[in-house]
Structure 1
């Protein structure tokens, strides 16, 4: 493919840096492309953006067989999985699995497999993954979370605080809103129909934070293997906090709730 004739997306426009990277990858041999797509460290000079990986995977639609697609698809799924919150954690040498998180992640992976299968026949189902991969995954998980939320809520584990003896909800399932009381409107079903439209009207940087918050992605994480909003957006946790605060204020205004007291 001539780098000057990269086909445009039907609904969105790729970031300039993504377009440039896609063009630069045209000179790579396929094995070298695979080797670079296997790099997961975003600070590595050889790292290839997930948006570009998605583009190259979709470009194999015109191949006579699935050999190249299969190799790229494995790496694509790996990127998806790494962007999802981990369901497993190790405590005292034992691996504990958060059932609700695992169910949501499994549903998200099942959904993306279906979308990729359908996309192989053409269409624009994966266009947004070429525009903003991290936000696309956050929306994917949010959609999966809605589908399994009823069961997840019923299975929320209850623990006893060692100091007070008070029953408390597991920290693993309290989600990204635990320390943000003003985020209550995000989970209130009363506001949901108007809320989604209001979120779409937010500035891009605020919409990204709110979308990832709804997907239960934490603002920050000390574990490099756990996806966090600050990590995905490459910004300071304080910046995430400020963007969310401005977004919540805008959402409250859009919903006619006035200033948060």
Structure 2
């Protein structure tokens, strides 16, 4: 590796990764690729992603497009796994599902990584060196950048602001009023809980605040001055809280109906 730290010292891999790479160098390439494709971390032959990246980078000297393609697929699967945050994945009827926002972030992370890998194969890109030192941390940085960019783009697509004092349309109010996302018959279903949690995370911050406080059992308002309410916690009018609640419930209803 060629990248240097601020003090001028070259980047270096962890000792255990360096030792493992030395042992893997002795394996026939087909056997190495089989080990690279193992995706279960508890498997005795599972390889750290830093090893996969090392051999993918080195493969440009092997003159084998087949071997590169197989190693590349195994590496990208690790990038996707590292880019997937907890709570983004849930299961519907036993099938894996993921939120739209999380899918966008993963796609952006993979694209950014592929750009770096392409630069490296066209010469040497020392921006990949840190991935060989701490793969998870490096992907986390890509994920943070992607999340910020996507949030900014989504904010531009949204109306500049809602008028919280403006009356909610009768359709939204009726739909929200007839929908209870915390239905006791459904909330015990782990699949439903997972999907609900993912949908709540997609809400705008002010609407998400109201829903989370409702989940914690707070009332919107109370005639008892000593009672802590959502209105008092957020420091806004009762109508504002109800409008945010109705918009949030309508979005949750639509998200959960799509899953069903």
| Larger helix fraction of residues | 2
Task: Report the CA distance between 1:161 and its aligned residue.
Answer: 3.8
Query: How many equivalent pairs are there?
Result: 163
Gaps of 5+ in 1: 1-7, 165-169, 182-261
Is the Cα–Cα contact under 8 Å of residues 57 and 69 in structure 1 kept in the other structure?
yes
Partner of 1:103: 104
Q: CA RMSD in A?
A: 3.0
**TM-score in terms of structure 1 length:** 0.54
Partner of 2:119: 118
Task: Report the CA distance between 1:107 and its aligned residue.
Answer: 1.0
Moved beyond 3 Å, runs of 4+: 91-97, 151-155, 158-164
Is the Cα–Cα contact under 8 Å of residues 33 and 71 in structure 2 kept in the other structure?
yes
Partner of 1:136: 138
Q: Match of 2:182, SS?
A: coil
Is the Cα–Cα contact under 8 Å of residues 100 and 152 in structure 1 kept in the other structure?
no
Per-residue displacement from partner, 1:186-222 (whole Å, max 9, x unpaired)? xxxxxxxxxxxxxxxxxxxxxxxxxxxxxxxxxxxxx
Partner of 2:66: 67
Partner of 2:201: 174
Trace 1:223-238 onto structure 2 (pairs within 5 A). Answer: none
Trace 1:48-63 onto structure 2 (pairs within 5 A). Answer: 48-63=47-62
Trace 1:76-225 onto structure 2 (pairs within 5 A). Answer: 76-85=75-84, 87-91=88-92, 97-121=98-122, 122-152=124-154, 161-162=181-182, 171-172=197-198, 174=201
**TM-score in terms of structure 2 length:** 0.55
Is the Cα–Cα contact under 8 Å of residues 116 and 125 in structure 2 kept in the other structure?
no
Is the Cα–Cα contact under 8 Å of residues 21 and 51 in structure 2 kept in the other structure?
yes
Partner of 2:218: none
Per-residue displacement from partner, 1:124-171 (whole Å, max 9, x unpaired)? 12111111111111111111112211244667xx9854369xxxxx63
Q: Which has the larger Rg?
A: 2
Task: Report the CA distance between 1:84 and its aligned residue.
Answer: 2.4
Distance 1:18 1:91, change over 3 A: same
Partner of 2:245: none
Distance 1:21 1:107, change over 3 A: same
Provide the rounded CA distance (Å) in 1 between the counterparts of 2:30 and 2:120.
24
